[in-house]
Chain A
Amino acid sequence: MQLTIQTFIGGVSLGAVYALVAMGFSLVYRTMGLVNFAHGNVVMVGAYLVSTFYLTTRVPFAVAMIVAIAVTGLIGVIIERALRPLENKDFDLMLIGTIGFGIVLEALAILIWGATGQAVPSPVATAPIDVLGIRIRTYDLMVLGIAAAATVALMTFLQRTKRGAAMQAVAMDHEAATAVGIHVGRSNAIAFVIGAGLAALAGGLVGPMLYVSPAMGGTLGIKGFAGAILGGFGNIPGAILGGIAIGVLDSFSAGHFQGYSDLVTFVVFTAIIMIRPTGIFGETTVNRA
């Protein structure tokens, strides 16, 4: 029982990172109907930026994070700008285009940081908290707290601000949104920047939990994406739950199946998604028949 709870808690904190990745996917998808397959690679770049600034310049972790978010936001703008001609036209081509960006980002990371990865020390150096015999790392708590704060901030932005409402309008009907004077391109760019920022946040947070390497983007991206789909693609609260669910699934399959954890995770994910293709909460799409 204790082991189960311990595994569960480990899964939740990793899941919080997946949830941040999933939120980025979902936000971009619901705003412009684009699945950004380069998202995982943006997460990886974010992880590298944070760890590099944090380790070499000795700035506080939070400052390193802000710098990383700014840089990845710029990457987001570039991707959006390059693929803008395809927006609302060919879904599959756009998807493949983002895969192309992912390939480039990974190669750039290898050029800059080398093919081998680096370990990042935890920014909070206190001992784990002991609750009823279950050890919870303080860093995990911090990750959960930041993820929760980011979620609340995003929801507030989307629901309470004029810009957020405009983005929702674009998500529902981009032509009607244009007709009432919303700049669709700018709205999409903002979605992309926020998505990339969330990716950097996830990458920065996951650095001390995993090993930072150019290849990490693939796995993180796919699992975050799986989380987004599991929760109902385009659905922000769904993305959070889906991400955490994937984290927990991952954590249990790692406990039970060791090396085969990825295999089990993806087979289970495929089975769930076949039973319920629209995810737990249903898809919030921009596609209509």
Chain B
Amino acid sequence: MTRAAKYRLAALAAAGAAAWLLPYRLDMYAIHVVDVMLLFAILAVGLGLVMGIAGQINLAQIAFFGLGAYVTAILTTKAGLGFWTASALAIAATAVAGLTVGLPALRMQSHYLGIVTLGLALAFTNWTTNAQVAGGAEGISAIPAPPMFGVDLSSPYLFYYVELIVFALALAFGLFVVRTPLGRRMRAMRDDALAAGAVGAEVPMLRMTAFLMASVYGGAAGVLYAGLIRYVAPETFSIANMFLLLAMVIIGGRQNLLGCAVGAVALSLVRELLIDYPTYAQIGYGSIVVLTVVFAPTGLAGLPARIGAVLRRRRTADFPTLGEFTPYPAGPAATGDGPLLSVDGLSKQFRGVKALADVDITVPAGQIRGIVGPNGSGKTTLFNVVSGFYRPTTGRVLLDGEVVSGARPHRLAQMGIARTFQNLRLFGDLTVTDNILVALDRTRTTWIWRYLLWPVGVMRRDRALRAEAEEVLDRFGLCGYGPLRPKALPYGIQRRVEIARAMSRRPRLLLLDEPAAGLNGEEVRRLGEIVRSIRDSGVTVVIIEHNMGLVMSLCEHVTVLAGGAVIAEGTPSQVAVAPQVIEAYLGDSAMAHDIPQATPAETR
């Protein structure tokens, strides 16, 4: 056990002991305050999971809380069910509500999702204040105390321990998720949903999972609330309390579940201190939210790291040196039956603009194919169609003889298409290792049942992935960069990380979109070696590039696009002298006499 792990274990034990002994020091009122505080902490962890980890704005968390409490209240008082039966049904009901509220997330994000979830939360409050069954504005009282093997849970002291256990489990499960494949995919999706799809993460399923988890956390807190207070009324679940909960998560640090819990505790305490001045308290926490988002977006949880960064700045920051790329072992020679990629009569129209017009491209297995053309000629659109970001207007794309056009990006990624992006789309808040790990994970989202039933399997899988990630980093000479964030790295290294990430998918087809952009001469030479080795391992490579030197030396076959159509195709030296290519680049064939001198130098 390392020293840090020892300290962590000691801190955990101390926190546990303190939490266990806490009720002995508190009077009746204080223990009640602590009980409510713990409920908010559970809610905050749930909200942190969906908002901070999965990046889905959810302003209906308070409604999940309310639903859990109300369903428990209604089933125990009106239907005469036992408390725990009612609570199981209540959590099931919240889970269904969570999936329903999550549905809009499949179609819209950020502010749209914010307004829809807020609207649905208002709809819930509207229902509780009007529905007969929910007791209207008076709410429901006389909820029976939950029975537990003769322990009297109507005592807030004993109830505290029930809550403490639920909170500990909720936090532990949340942290477990965050640090293992599911949470990593969620964080990747938060940072860049498009790129997450391109590395095989099933974004729609992940969004639903996030809402499901948040709603179960909310429902559990609601059940406990019903058991603790034994009275429910609409104002507890108002929008004002939703914003208070949001403030807890933001101030605590939304991307850190422990921070969310700390934020909940801190804000609850402050609210308690200012209980006689609720309006001033409101001004206070509103202002702190504004200050937090502007000056400390990572919240309380991010403060240690920020202070650390300030202290470290005094010392010289030294980057690890970029290592050499270790070539892949030669793979099976390309088998000659049929092309790996064929693009068949492909057109793509954006409203009136025709970005691609009737494009036919056939790439045999094991080739390095260059795609060149002036800016705006449709090269990246072509990649976006092949990798599933756009649906073609007409035509189709076949991968190894199978029609794949129209499939979602994550499906195509699972089928063996990997890509890089012109403007780099690394997951900015994930470390380099995590970027690789997300791509290495080849499981489907349904794999996550293990989180509930076989956590040991999850841990084993995570360990195996980490070992694999070390190998990938090693191969690409990125050894020292693992724990760093891509944002902090020089541009050339980010480019290499992106190729490493794409190759972690072990693709059949690799699409590289301007991989040499922004690289210096030496870096371009190394890139050429890497791409050749990738091809030699049995991967077919299609590369969009403006660096003619690289195209000429690397590609066996070049396709030239202009104005959305293929205007020339052939070996590099053939297309370089084709008059229509020269015209497309220079706009006028009369200028063509300038070109022949340039071409031999380019081809080398």
Contacts and interface: CB of A to CB of B under 8 A. Distances in A.
**Chain A contact residues, majority secondary structure:** helix
B123 A266 contact: yes
Interface stretch (A47-55, A59-67, A222-230, A237-245): A222-230
Interface stretch (A128-136, A181-189, A255-263): A255-263
Contact of A107 (B118, B282, B293, B297): B282
A110 interface: yes
B286 interface: yes
B289 interface: yes
Contacts of A106: 240, 282
B500 interface: no
Contacts of B110: 35, 91-92, 95
A270 B107 CA distance: 11
Given A106-B282, A107-B282, A289-B194, A82 B290 contact: yes
A101 interface: yes
A81 B289 CA distance: 16
A277 B116 CA distance: 11
A94 B112 CA distance: 14
Contacts of A110: 279, 282
B127 A260 contact: yes
A145 interface: no
Interface in A94-124: 94-97, 99-104, 106-108, 110-111
A222 B126 CA distance: 14
Interface string A265-289: 0110110011001000000000001
Contact of A262 (B55, B104, B123): B123
Contact of A103 (B55, B111, B289, B294): B289
Interface string B95-129: 00000000110011011101110111011001101
B293 to A, nearest CB: 4
Interface residues of B, number: 42
B243 A267 contact: no
Nearest to A33: B111
Q: Which of B119, B120, B250, B280 has the most CB of A within 10 A?
A: B119
Q: How large is the interface on A (under 10, 10 to 19, 20 to 34, 35 or more residues)?
A: 35 or more
Contacts of B194: 289
Given A86-B293, A95-B110, A260-B127, A222 B115 contact: yes
A104 B127 CA distance: 27
B285 interface: yes
A85 B294 contact: yes
B57 interface: yes
Contacts of B122: 218-219, 222, 262, 266
A104 B112 contact: no
B70 to A, nearest CB: 14
A218 B118 CA distance: 10
Given A111-B279, A273-B108, A93 B297 contact: yes
B290 A222 contact: no
A101 B290 contact: yes
A83 interface: yes
B108 A83 contact: no
Contacts of B55: 92
B279 to A, nearest CB: 5
A96 B107 contact: no
Contact of A226 (B57, B115, B280, B287): B115
Contacts of A82: 290, 294
A260 B130 contact: yes
Contacts of A233: 111-112
B175 interface: no
B464 interface: no
Interface string B51-63: 0000101000000
Nearest to A82: B290
B283 interface: yes
Contacts of A95: 57, 110-111, 114
Interface in B463-518: none
Contact of A269 (B103, B119, B250, B290): B119
Nearest to A261: B126
B260 to A, nearest CB: 14
B282 A259 contact: no
Contacts of B266: none
Contacts of B289: 96-97, 99-100, 103
Interface in B279-316: 279-280, 282-283, 285-290, 292-294, 297
Contacts of B86: none
B239 interface: yes
Contacts of A229: 112, 115
B114 A97 contact: no
A252 interface: no
Ranked nearest first, the 9 interchain pairs of A and B with the lowest CB-CB distance are: A100-B289, A103-B286, A104-B286, A266-B119, A107-B282, A259-B130, A35-B111, A100-B290, A97-B293
Interface of B: 55, 57, 103-104, 107-108, 110-112, 114-116, 118-120, 122-123, 126-127, 129-130, 194, 239-240, 243, 246-247, 250, 279-280, 282-283, 285-290, 292-294, 297
Interface of A: 35, 37, 82-83, 85-86, 90-97, 99-104, 106-108, 110-111, 218-219, 222, 225-226, 229, 233, 258-263, 266-267, 269-270, 273-274, 277, 289
Given A97-B293, A266-B126, 9 more contacts: A95-B57, A97-B290, A100-B247, A103-B243, A222-B115, A226-B115, A266-B122, A267-B123, A273-B107
18 contacts: A35-B114, A83-B293, A95-B114, A96-B246, A97-B293, A103-B247, A103-B282, A110-B279, A229-B112, A233-B111, A260-B130, A266-B120, A266-B123, A270-B104, A273-B104, A273-B108, A273-B112, A274-B108
